[in-house]
Structure 1
Amino acid sequence: MSKLIIFPGQGAQYGGMAKDLYEQNDKARAVLDKIFSYTDFDLKEIMFSEDDDRLNDTKYTQPALFAHSLAVLAATGLKGDYLLGHSLGELPALVHAGTVSLKDGVKLVTRRGELMSQADSGAMAAVIGMGFKDLEDACSSASEGDSKVAPANINAPDQVVVSGDTEAVDRFKALAKERGARRIIPLKVSGAFHSHLMEPARAEFKTFTETIEFKDANIPVIQNVSAKAETDAATIKHQFVEQITHPVRFVECVETAASLGVTEAVEVGPKKVQSGLVRKITKEISTSNIDTFEQAEGFLNE
């Protein structure tokens, strides 16, 4: 009976996130103040405001999610046997695992957000109710020459996000409708994340990570790229960089957790998107989430 801690990714942010934790929990406030001191923009204002448009700008979204997850961990003292982050969520997992320091984690999340926000071409779409093999075939058929589309986030058996060149995504949407997709939802994103169009960002991020020390993980991290529990510093570093252009294999990551004996998953950070996905993937793992101060208090009083 093992416990998995899950860290959410982009899209879970909301105005006022982590404000109650900051105001009502000393340990959460301490870690948030450290994170805020390491940024050269007012992350506190961006997160705590109810209507700051900057929160939905990738360069600020990613540090905000990173901060919220680590504030929840500080407030609760939660311990897990395995860690799993969805895309950006892999970085607070690496900090919690002791692979990178908090200060270096802030440097990494800030640079990653900047680089990904600059990649402003391409499109993404969520596909509901289409078998993965059929979806892969439709991606292959819709890809022509340098104009390509491919799975980017394999979130659940019936929920996959595709990403790539705008024209290829449009061709895919038409094919997917013909081939039985129940719903296709264009996503409002600044770029085609986890696709070949992110290669310039990946290359620059790789160069940046060469200035950061990575250590072996104290807690195994199930990484998005391999869908395996990793502890080796070099492997983790390489795969964290490669993740920018590779799909998030969330279904396989959760299946890996189940195969390792995980029976409980706790999502830490805003909302409970990943918890819902876990329930779609397996019945072997019970789920809960901790977002607010009230939920943190409930966890501590169990």
Structure 2
Amino acid sequence: MKRLILFPGQGAQYNGMAKDIYESSSEGRTALDEVFMNVDFDLKSIMFDEDERLNQTEYTQPALFAHSLAVLAATGIKGDMVLGHSLGELPALVHAGVLSIQDGVKIVAKRGALMSQSTGGGMAAVIGMEAAEVQALCDELSTETRRVQPANLNAPDQTVVSGDASLIEEFAAKAKENGARRVMPLNVSGAFHSHLMDEAKAEFRAFVSDIEFSPPQIPVIQNVSAKAETDPTVIKSQLIEQITSPVRFVECVQTAVDEGAAEAIEVGPKKVLSGLMRKIDRSVSTSNIDTMEQVKEFQNG
């Protein structure tokens, strides 16, 4: 039975995240301290205290990275394959042996900083429309000067769109006319996984060009191709492209099942991906590990 490890993305963060692991697990504390020492801001306080900066992209991304690695260290859990959602791909690459934790920290901090600088964009979650219908509506509304596109294909009836803020509003009205149950604007700093991240992607490419990506010890199912990748050159290229490309989570899960995944464990805050997994394929046993209490339950299970 193969085990898939899931790494959550932005939106799962909460104040106090991983604090109990830091206080109760020496392995978890070591992993967190390694992250804290490799950023030039007080990530420990941002995560552990009631700090509003946690919801700012440049801090959110390193915080999620740190929490996932803390859970991995505290449990000693090992996966047969990994799948991260958006920025979750970075701790996934550390677990797969593609990146050192030090390089992973540098990359996630740079990624968050670059993506936080984008302006003029928005995102919205669309509930109750199939992905093909969402894509068709995006194509209908987009022009050369304003574009909206699917950003996260999260479940068969749940897609997040991203693009120019004014067009997001038009999309929401049209989607409801076309049968969407709900369209919810997301409280994000930019239009992630869209053309408005082109500049961030170019700078990110230059930043990671000299960082070594090693061959993975286990397959990495990447958001861009929705395939289990093993070539470090391909993995690096797709990590860069992911900034402007959709997260094809539904197809990624289907790939994991095709590769033999029978168990999926989400490591990090909350249980967003576990819930999506159940919507996509109920044949996979799913669970999540967020708190120290859940770490102990896993160890005693």
Q: TM-score range by the shorter chain?
A: over 0.9
Contact kept in structure 2, 1:14 and 1:270, CA below 8 Å = yes
Q: Distance in 1 between matches of 2:104 and 2:214?
A: 12
| Deviation (angstroms), 1:261 | 1.1
Q: Distance in 1 between matches of 2:166 and 2:146?
A: 7
Contact kept in structure 2, 1:7 and 1:86, CA below 8 Å = yes
Q: Distance in 1 between matches of 2:228 and 2:146?
A: 34
Aligned to 2:3: 3
1:188 aligns with 2:202: no
Superposed CA RMSD in Å reads 0.7
SS in 1 for 2:11: coil
Q: Distance in 2 between matches of 1:151 and 1:131?
A: 11
| Deviation (angstroms), 1:133 | 1.7
SS in 1 for 2:286: strand
Q: Distance in 1 between matches of 2:16 and 2:226?
A: 33
Segments of 5+ residues of structure 2 without an aligned counterpart are: none
Q: Flag as ranges the 4+ runs of structure 1 deviating above 2 A.
A: none
Contact kept in structure 2, 1:142 and 1:169, CA below 8 Å = no
| Deviation (angstroms), 1:231 | 1.3
User: Partner amino acid for 2:107?
Assistant: L
| Deviation (angstroms), 1:211 | 2.3
1:38 aligns with 2:38: yes
Aligned to 2:79: 80
Q: Distance in 2 between matches of 1:98 and 1:146?
A: 41
SS in 1 for 2:133: helix
Aligned positions of 1:243-262 closer than 5 A: 243-262=242-261
TM-score of the superposed pair, with normalisation by structure 1:
0.99
Deviations 1:264-294 (A, max 9, x none): 0000000000000000001121100000001
Q: Distance in 2 between matches of 1:248 and 1:132?
A: 12
Contact kept in structure 2, 1:196 and 1:245, CA below 8 Å = yes
Aligned to 1:137: 136
Percent identity over the alignment is 64
| Deviation (angstroms), 1:145 | 2.1
Aligned to 1:18: 18
More off after superposition, 214-223 vs 139-148: 139-148
Contact kept in structure 2, 1:123 and 1:165, CA below 8 Å = yes
Contact kept in structure 2, 1:121 and 1:190, CA below 8 Å = no
Q: Distance in 2 between matches of 1:12 and 1:133?
A: 27
SS in 2 for 1:32: helix
Q: Distance in 2 between matches of 1:47 and 1:23?
A: 13
Aligned positions of 1:225-244 closer than 5 A: 225-244=224-243
Q: Distance in 2 between matches of 1:75 and 1:201?
A: 34
Contact kept in structure 2, 1:82 and 1:221, CA below 8 Å = yes
User: Partner amino acid for 1:37?
Assistant: M
User: Partner amino acid for 2:48?
Assistant: F
Aligned positions of 1:50-199 closer than 5 A: 51-199=50-198
Deviations 1:99-143 (A, max 9, x none): 111111010000000000001221100000012221111111111
Q: Distance in 2 between matches of 1:239 and 1:269?
A: 23
Contact kept in structure 2, 1:115 and 1:201, CA below 8 Å = yes
TM-score of the superposed pair, with normalisation by structure 2:
0.99
Q: Distance in 2 between matches of 1:54 and 1:280?
A: 32
SS in 1 for 2:22: helix
| Deviation (angstroms), 1:34 | 1.1
Q: Distance in 2 between matches of 1:145 and 1:7?
A: 35
Paired residue total: 301
Deviations 1:228-273 (A, max 9, x none): 0011110000000000000000000000011111110000000000
User: Partner amino acid for 1:30?
Assistant: T
User: Partner amino acid for 2:146?
Assistant: S
1:200 aligns with 2:216: no
User: Partner amino acid for 1:61?
Assistant: T
Contact kept in structure 2, 1:5 and 1:80, CA below 8 Å = yes
| Deviation (angstroms), 1:168 | 1.9
Segments of 5+ residues of structure 1 without an aligned counterpart are: none
SS in 2 for 1:244: coil
